Structures are given as C-alpha cells and as structure tokens.
C-alpha cells in the first residue's frame, strides 16, 4: 500500500504500538531502578537514575495526538464537506465505549484516577470541534499557528508558577505535568499538536522523496533522545512539560512524515502492525492490568518482564472483548445513519 492509493498507511500502526509500549513502560516502575537507586555505591545510584529516565510516556502521548490528527483528516483531505453526525458518532463510540467499560472496572477497584483519561478527553474534544475547524475557510497552517500562539499564552499565564520555579531553580508550586491545567484547558494546550497531524495529512500525498534505513534510524534516535532530554529537564531543572512538549511536537511532525514516506518503499512488520491495532487497549488498560496481576503475582526483578508480557496479553483480550466490538458497532451505527440521510 502507498499513501496515495490506500485507505490506510503502512507504518502508522507500528508507531502506535511502540508509543503505547513506551507509555506502559513509563508506568511500570522498573524494579531494577529501585534496587540501583537504593544502592550505597554512587555509580550504581547514577545508573538507576539514568535508567529511570529512559521512558517518557507523556512524550509518546504527544505523538499520539499528532497521529490522531493525521488519521482523522486523511480521509477528508480532498473533500469540501463530510457528514458530520456519522463522523461524530463513529469517533465517540469508538473511543467512548472502551473508556466507559474500562472506567467502570477501574472505578470498582478505586483505580479510576490512574487511567490516562486526560488525553482521551482531549481526543473527544478534538473530534467534536474538527467539523467546525473544517468548515472555517482558511488554511490549516493558519489554524495551527493561531492554536500554537493561544497555547503559549495559556501556558505562560496559567503556568506562571512554573516560570518562577525555572528562573529561581527552586520549588515554587512547580508542576511537571503537561495536563496540569485540567480537563477544561489541557485540550487547548494540546490542540496545536493535533493540528500538526491534520497539516501532515494535507501535504502527505504531495511528498515525493524517499527515506533510507540510515535516515529513518537517525530520526528515531533523535526523537527518542529528545524525549529523554525533556524528561531530564522537567524532573531536575524545573522545565515544565507545559513549556516544552508543544515544541517537541514539531520534531514529531517531521519524524512521522519520514516514517510514512519510509514505509512506502520498505516492508512493515506484520507483528508490529497488528500490535498497533490494539494499542488503544494497551494505553487504556495497562495500569489496570498491573493492579490485577499484582493481586496474584509478586512484582519484582524476576517478574518484571512477565508483567509486561501478561499486560500485553490482557490488553489484547480487552481489544477482542471491548475495543473491536465497539469499533464495529461505531461503523454500523454511522453507516445506518448515513444510509437514512435523504
């Protein structure tokens, strides 16, 4: 499949799988890190600190935002209009039903706060306002610039304590989190990231170059190292994610374009592509999986990899029982609604 001739684009699902895996790893505290950091030997302590910064889940979420904007707009990139109600029902059911089911289970175990709902609320808001943005007759680039400027002003105004902490290098109500402004405003902070994906969908058919194996790995390493750097700055130098991750999204935009172009001429891994199909279930349910497993298996260095593997297996079961049926239901409801339209 190629970007111009297929309904789907090779490589996107593989990226989703690895992003979901990074989020999972960032939440499963590595028992070896605790062992190393608790050592009386300084080099081992430093090693533990270094390993602790290898996985930055929030950076992966920003990449999810970019991919989401791309996936939503790609089918509509050459259209003047589209059926809004079927679109909204399809997207809300697709995301909302698994969130409802997993949320009810997590709430039963008093663990709802550990589901990454903030990003899913943002996604639902983006789906809802997308038809409005689509109808505004100005370029997507202009919409992105406006959203980016608004996000900077919002971050500067509402995150001013973070600025003080950064300037004075001390804790003055410092908040590391990207979602620190809550459900009401985090969507505004993340909107330019999502619009970068829309812009990429607009241009991708016109991109005419190739990407070599060496080039794509340079970008992958660069993206990864930058995520580690942002994590270090946020954790140790009071550089809040509120100020850095939207700029990081600009690099993600370039990287994801390179990935799409790369997979036009290179084979994808069927395993990773299929893993991406249930990446939402991994993202949504991995911490709940951890709690369930902890009730039966001790979590330590011997069982660390087992926890990861079993969490992926349970996530796949969630996909089969909840996510996939929700996806099919969303498609059927949208199709029925479109068929009834005169």
220 Cβ contact list (under 8 Å, min separation 6) = 255
Cα separation, 133 vs 119, in Å, equals 20
Instruction: Categorize the per-residue pLDDT at 341 as very low, low, confident or very high, splitting at 50, 70 and 90.
Output: low
Q: pLDDT digit string (tens) for 238-285?
A: 999 999 999 999 999 999 999 999 999 999 999 999 999 999 999 999
Query: What's the average model confidence in pLDDT over 23-32?
Result: 88
CA angle (99 as vertex; 17, 321 as ends), nearest 5: 70
Cα separation, 111 vs 113, in Å, equals 6
| Half-sphere exposure for 183 (CA within 13 Å, toward CB) | 8
DSSP codes joined into one string, 171-186: -SS----TTTT-HHHH
What are the sequence ranges of the domains in the chain? 12-84+109-268
pLDDT at 6 over 50: no
pLDDT at 334: 82
Nearest to 180 by CA among 157, 196, 164, 197: 157
Average pLDDT of the residues of the chain = 91
Nearest to 86 by CA among 340, 319, 322: 340
Q: pLDDT digit string (tens) for 201-220?
A: 999 999 999 999 999 999 99
Q: pLDDT digit string (tens) for 65-124?
A: 999 999 999 999 999 888 899 999 999 999 999 999 998 988 887 888 778 889 999 999
Nearest to 62 by CA among 203, 215, 199, 186: 186
DSSP codes joined into one string, 293-326: HHTTS--STTTHHHHHHHHHHHHHHHIIIIIHHH
Cα separation, 1 vs 10, in Å, equals 7
Give the C-alpha distances (Å, rounded to integers) separating 190 from 122, 147, 152, 227, 241: 8, 9, 11, 17, 11
Coil vs helix vs strand at 239: coil
CA dihedral 120, 122, 124, 130 (to 10 degrees): -150
Share of the chain above pLDDT 70, in %: 97
Cα separation, 340 vs 333, in Å, equals 11
133 Cβ contact list (under 8 Å, min separation 6) = 143, 195
Cα separation, 203 vs 85, in Å, equals 26
pTM value > 0.85:
yes
Cα separation, 143 vs 290, in Å, equals 40
Q: pLDDT digit string (tens) for 142-198?
A: 999 999 999 999 999 999 999 999 999 999 999 999 999 998 899 999 999 999 999
Instruction: Categorize the per-residue pLDDT at 3 as very low, low, confident or very high, splitting at 50, 70 and 90.
Output: very low
Give the C-alpha distances (Å, rounded to integers) separating 154 from 58, 126, 190: 19, 18, 11
Cβ pair 180, 242 in contact under 8 A: yes
Structure tokens at 61: 């979420």
């Amino acid at each position: 499949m190629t970007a111009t001739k297929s309904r789907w684009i090779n490589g996107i699902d593989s990226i989703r799988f690895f992003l979901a895996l990074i989020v999972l790893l960032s939440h499963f505290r590595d028992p070896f890190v605790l062992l190393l950091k608790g050592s009386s030997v300084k080099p081992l302590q430093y090693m533990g600190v270094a390993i602790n910064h290898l996985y930055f889940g929030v950076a992966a979420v920003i990449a999810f935002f970019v991919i989401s904007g791309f996936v939503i707009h790609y089918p509509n990139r050459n259209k003047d209009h589209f059926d809004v109600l079927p679109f909204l029902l399809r997207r809300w059911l697709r995301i909302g039903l698994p969130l409802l089911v997993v949320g009810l289970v997590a709430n039963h175990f008093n663990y709802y706060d550990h589901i990454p709902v903030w990003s899913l609320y943002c996604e639902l808001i983006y789906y809802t306002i997308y038809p409005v943005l689509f109808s505004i007759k100005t370029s997507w680039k202009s919409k992105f610039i406006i959203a980016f400027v608004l996000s900077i002003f919002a971050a500067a105004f509402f995150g001013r304590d973070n600025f003080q902490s950064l300037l004075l290098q001390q804790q003055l109500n410092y908040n590391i989190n990207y979602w620190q402004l809550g459900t009401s405003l985090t969507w505004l902070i993340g909107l330019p990231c999502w619009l970068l994906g829309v812009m990429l969908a607009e241009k991708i058919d016109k991109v005419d170059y190739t990407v070599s194996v060496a080039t794509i790995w340079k970008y992958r390493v660069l993206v990864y190292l930058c995520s580690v750097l942002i994590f270090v700055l946020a954790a140790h130098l009071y550089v809040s994610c509120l100020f850095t991750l939207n700029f990081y999204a600009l690099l993600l935009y370039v990287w994801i374009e390179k990935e799409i172009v790369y997979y036009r001429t290179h084979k994808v891994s069927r395993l990773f592509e299929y893993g991406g199909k249930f990446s939402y279930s991994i993202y949504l349910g991995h911490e709940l999986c951890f709690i369930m497993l902890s009730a039966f298996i001790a979590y330590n260095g011997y069982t660390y990899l087992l926890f990861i593997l079993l969490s992926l297996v349970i996530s796949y079961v969630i996909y089969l029982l909840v996510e996939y049926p929700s996806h099919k239901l969303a498609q059927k409801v949208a199709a029925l609604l479109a068929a009834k339209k005169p």
